[in-house]
C-alpha cells in the first residue's frame, strides 16, 4: 500500500486541482493507495471542499486537526497515521509536482533506496528565492547533514524509514533535518520548483526565519561557537587594550576622558546580550520539550463511509 501526505491550510482555491493531480499521479504507478489530506486548522472552505472530493474518491482521507499546529506538526500527524509500506510527503501548494512520485517510487523499488528526496535545481518566480537559497547553503555549512542543500519536505520513504522518523519525538521539529539524521540509503531526484498554482503563500519571510532558527538550533552548534569566538575576541582585544593603557600611564601620555571606558562597557555588554539570547533560545527549547505536550490534536478523521 502507498500513502501520500498533503498538509493544507486555507487552500480552498487549490483543492480541486491538487486532488486531481495527486490522484492521477498516484494511480499512474499503483491502485492500492491512500491520500491523507491534513487540514491544519483552515478557516476557509478547505475542509468542505476536501469532504466533497472524498465523496467521489473514497481513497482520499481527511485528518482534521483541532487548530493550526503548523506545517511540521501536520506532516507528523500524517506520518503517524499513514498505513502504507511507502509514504510520500508533499506540500499542498503544487510547487512540488506530484508527477515526480512515480519516479521516486521506481527508485525505491528498483534502485534499492530507502528514502528519495526531491532536490530543487532551480525555482520559478523570485519570491523568497534568494533567502531560501542562502539559508540552505548556510545550513549545509554549519551542520553535519551534507545532503540537505535545496531539499525540503517533498520525499518518499519506505516503511522502515518512516518508522525510524516517527520515533523522533521532538516538539520543535524540522523534518528535512530529521529525515537526513536517521540515515538509511538516501537518493535524490532533481526538479525545478514551480510557482504557487494559486492562492496566497503561507510561508512568509517571518515564518521562514522561524523555521530556519528551529533547524539551526536543532542540528548545529554554530550559535554556541559564535558566542565562544566573540567572547575570546573580546578578551583578547581588551587584554591588549589593558596593556596599552598601562604602558601609556607609565610613560605619562595616557589620554584623559571616558571614551575608552564607555566603549569597553558597550562592547562587553553587547557580547553578554548575544550570549544571553543564544542561551535563552536553548533554554526555551528545553522548556518546550519538557512540557511534553502533544505535537498535534485530531478533531476528526474522515476515513470511513459512515462519517
**99: Cβ contacts below 8 Å, ≥ 6 apart:** 21, 25, 28
Q: Where are the domains of the chain?
A: 2-220+294-302, 222-291
Q: What is the pLDDT of residue 89?
A: 92
Checking DSSP bridges between strand 151-158 and strand 60-65, what pairing results, if any? Answer: unpaired
Of 23, 204, 162, the residue nearest 101 (C-alpha): 23
Spatial separation of the C-alpha atoms in residues 64 and 271, rounded to whole Å: 46
Report field, pTM of the whole predicted structure over 0.85 = no
**Can you list the residues of the chain whose pLDDT is less than 50?**
306
Q: What is the pLDDT of residue 177?
A: 80
Q: What is the pLDDT of residue 79?
A: 93
Question: Domain 2-220+294-302 adopts which CATH fold?
Answer: Spore Coat Polysaccharide Biosynthesis Protein SpsA; Chain A (3.90.550)
Q: What is the pLDDT of residue 295?
A: 85
CB-neighbour burial class of residue 298 (10 A; exposed 0-12, middle 13-18, buried 19+) = middle
Q: What is the pLDDT of residue 119?
A: 85
Q: How do residues 133-162 score in pLDDT, each as one tens digit? A: 555 555 555 555 555 556 678 999 999 999
Q: What is the pLDDT of residue 96?
A: 86
**83: Cβ contacts below 8 Å, ≥ 6 apart:** 1, 3, 34
**274: Cβ contacts below 8 Å, ≥ 6 apart:** 226, 227, 230
Residue appearing with cell numbers 510557482: 195
Amino acid at each position: 500500500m502507498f500513502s501520500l501526505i498533503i498538509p493544507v491550510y486555507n487552500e480552498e482555491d487549490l483543492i480541486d486541482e491538487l486532488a486531481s493531480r495527486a490522484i492521477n499521479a498516484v494511480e499512474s504507478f499503483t491502485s492500492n493507495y491512500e491520500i491523507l489530506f491534513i487540514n491544519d486548522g483552515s478557516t476557509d472552505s478547505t475542509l468542505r471542499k476536501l469532504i466533497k472530493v472524498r465523496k467521489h474518491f473514497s481513497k482520499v482521507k481527511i485528518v482534521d486537526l483541532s487548530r493550526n499546529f503548523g506545517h511540521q506538526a501536520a506532516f507528523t500527524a500524517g506520518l503517524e497515521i499513514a498505513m502504507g509500506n511507502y509514504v510520500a510527503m508533499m506540500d499542498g501548494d503544487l510547487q512540488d509536482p506530484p508527477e515526480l512520485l512515480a519516479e521516486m517510487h521506481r527508485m525505491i523499488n528498483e534502485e534499492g533506496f530507502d528514502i528519495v528526496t526531491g532536490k530543487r535545481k532551480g525555482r520559478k518566480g523570485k519570491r523568497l528565492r534568494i533567502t531560501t537559497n542562502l539559508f540552505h547553503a548556510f545550513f549545509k555549512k554549519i551542520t553535519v547533514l551534507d545532503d540537505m542543500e535545496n531539499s525540503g519536505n517533498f520525499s518518499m520513504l519506505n516503511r522502515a524509514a518512516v518508522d525510524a522518523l516517527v520515533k523522533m519525538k521532538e516538539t520543535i521539529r524540522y523534518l528535512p533535518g530529521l529525515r537526513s539524521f536517521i540515515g538509511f540509503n538516501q537518493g535524490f531526484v532533481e526538479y525545478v520548483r514551480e510557482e504557487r498554482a494559486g492562492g496566497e503563500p503561507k510561508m512568509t519571510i517571518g515564518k521562514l526565519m522561524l523555521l530556519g532558527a528551529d533547524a539551526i538550533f536543532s542540528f548545529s552548534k554554530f550559535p554556541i561557537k559564535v558566542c565562544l569566538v566573540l567572547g575570546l575576541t573580546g578578551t583578547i582585544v581588551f587584554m591588549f587594550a589593558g596593556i596599552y593603557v598601562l604602558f601609556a600611564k607609565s610613560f605619562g601620555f595616557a589620554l584623559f576622558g571616558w571614551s575608552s571606558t564607555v566603549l569597553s562597557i558597550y562592547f562587553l555588554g553587547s557580547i553578554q546580550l548575544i550570549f544571553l539570547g543564544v542561551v535563552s533560545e536553548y533554554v526555551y527549547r528545553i522548556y518546550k520539550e519538557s512540557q511534553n505536550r502533544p505535537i498535534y490534536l485530531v478533531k476528526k478523521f474522515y476515513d470511513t463511509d459512515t462519517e
